[in-house]
Amino acid sequence: MRLSFLEPLYKQPGPFASVYLDTSRDAAVDDPDAAIELRWRHLRDALMAEGADRDSVTAVADTAGSDTDVPGTHGQAVFTAHGRLALLDELPSPPTRDTAHFGTLPDTMPLIVQHTPGIPYLAVHVHYSGRHSTDATDTVRIDAEAGTWPLTKVTPGHRVHEEIPATDWLNAAGEIGRELEGHARRIDVEAVVVAGDVWARGILVRRLPAPLRGQVTTVEGAGESMPGRALLEQRLESFFSGRMAAHDRALLDTFLAQRARDGATAEGLSAAVSALQRGRAKALFLNDHPESTLHLWVGPKPGQLALTEQELRSYGIQDVREERADAALARALVGTRAELVVVPEQQLRLSEGVGVLLRYADPASRA
């Protein structure tokens, strides 16, 4: 995953207030606004206890819970600095627990994890309940959405809606297929998920352009979606569970191949820090451990991170702070334009939860 969406945040000076808040609005809560306000008050107290300035706390208060147009379960990530909103992002799922942190670096790793796997897709629902015949008097209705999973759950993608008389369906399906191919090409889709009436969707799938047809998976069920949420959300949740984006999968395959022949890879926190210090990291692989208590020492610039305060000071850096390891790693990845791949531990257990694919092998390691 490329972390360019975080670049504007890191261009701003800290310290930052970082808040992750459950802002769900669903039937499970009688008064969601009151519940959100109560949760925010607890986080506000936590920020003040950590030394946050009042203006930055007020900026969070002005934003927290503002996503009233997003239905269902979700959350918000809010970052403020010096009394101004620095970044606001919707979370596809509520945070496991509400958190607030005030420090030199923004706490971005929970947001990054919620952006994964980042799979571009096309969802298509073919509504039809008439006779399975092209001389029927009924209407075929098509809803389609091009998006990125899981972000489309809270930030809907481009929608297509068409209603076609069944008598015209054979010809119209080809035209719609070409329209869908255009949307798919624009976002370089990795999967096309089609639901709905078996007869009507079968005609559409057979008339899709060949490259798109080869990416189709059909799913059963009604596939109805909540307004304002991703089309076929429940079906997509099951379909994408445990999947990696193709780009991330390719990076992981390269890492594993290089590791097998003692190539341009390393594992462990120390090795990752060394690679980021020198700008040698092409991609970092991480077993996400939000409960980790590991810390690193950081300076003002992204590549200024170390395991100890003494190491940083030995480089002549005077302004040093201790921060969460994942926050320091995230800033270094953005600053050096390295990529991040979150890998489930059951799929690959990394030493200290961290692995790195290097831009080039260390000549000394080949001796």
Q: Would you state the structure tokens that stand for residue 115, as one six-digit string? A: 């952006």
For range 313-342, the mean pLDDT: 95
What is the chain's mean pLDDT, rounded?
94
What integer pLDDT is reported at residue 363 of this predicted model? 60
Q: In what order do the strands lie in the sheet with 354-358?
A: 265-267, 354-358, 281-286, 339-342
DSSP for residue 332 = H
Q: What residues are paired with 140 via a beta bridge? A: 164
- In order of 2, 9, 27, 77, 166, the CA distances from 107 in angstroms are 17, 11, 31, 10, 53
Q: Which of 173-187, 241-255, 334-348, 353-367 has the lowest mean pLDDT?
A: 353-367
For range 234-239, the mean pLDDT: 94
For range 3-28, the mean pLDDT: 93
311-345: b (≥16 Cβ within 10 Å) or e: ebeeeebeebbebbbbbbbbbbbbbbebbbbbbee
What integer pLDDT is reported at residue 177 of this predicted model? 96
222 confidence band (pLDDT: 50, 70, 90) = low
Express each pLDDT in 72-122 by its tens digit. 999 999 999 999 999 999 999 999 999 999 999 999 999 999 999 999 999
Express each pLDDT in 46-62 by its tens digit. 999 999 999 999 999 99
| The pLDDT of residue 29 is above 80 | no
Instruction: Determine whether 297 is exposed, middle or buried from the number of CB atoms within 10 Å of its CB (0-12, 13-18, 19+).
Output: buried
Q: Would you state the structure tokens that stand for residue 357, as one six-digit string? A: 């694919």
Q: Which of 37-41, 74-78, 159-163, 290-294 has the lowest mean pLDDT?
A: 290-294
